[in-house]
A = this chain, B = another copy of it.
């Protein structure tokens, strides 16, 4: 539908509304699970008519895709800070490893929502592709940092890509396992200890020439 200059009609609220809807979608999934998150429930939570959600997303499938994007953007934006401002190379590398070892993405992304989305990817290529790209992006950034650290002789790695993947594997494994570790308390000491272990593992691997 072309919007001519003369007949503009009502101002679009689409961007804000869509964001708002996705936020509530997210909230309902937390409370009721992905399979329990119906349009009606989301609408009720927003105190609007269910058909309004359809108005903004055409159908639920597109709403789910919107949510996936929302999740992935959140993840991307928060998973790794920008290290390019850190001048000292040793410090830059230490910062990176520090961040990687401390990451608990269930603090900025609800676990149920995240795993629900991730699981959808196995039966939906469009969704899978987004996750692939997400991890590709993170992997690339890690690789980039590894290469820099390497060039400054901070670490010793022949295959930066493999090393980046190893780091990612460790990050994800730690996160995954945390969910089922009965000894995981979440308190500061526990987190510190785990972080330290991951850090040591990484440093061990990047200094002994394994990669």
What residues make up the interface of A, taking CB atoms closer than 8 Å to B?
1-2, 9, 33-35, 47-49, 111-112, 115-116, 118-123, 128, 131-132, 134-136, 162, 165-166, 168-174, 176-177, 179-182, 197, 200-201, 204-205, 208, 210-211
Contact = CB atoms under 8 A, between A and B. Distances in A.
A123 B112 contact: yes
Given A172-B173, A179-B121, A180-B132, A197 B162 contact: yes
Contact of A122 (B111, B132, B162): B111
A47 to B, nearest CB: 6
Chain A contact surface mostly: helix
Contacts of A197: 162, 166, 210-211
A45 to B, nearest CB: 12
A136 to B, nearest CB: 6
Contacts of A123: 33, 112
Contacts of A121: 179-180
Nearest to A9: B49
A181 B166 CA distance: 12
A135 B1 contact: no
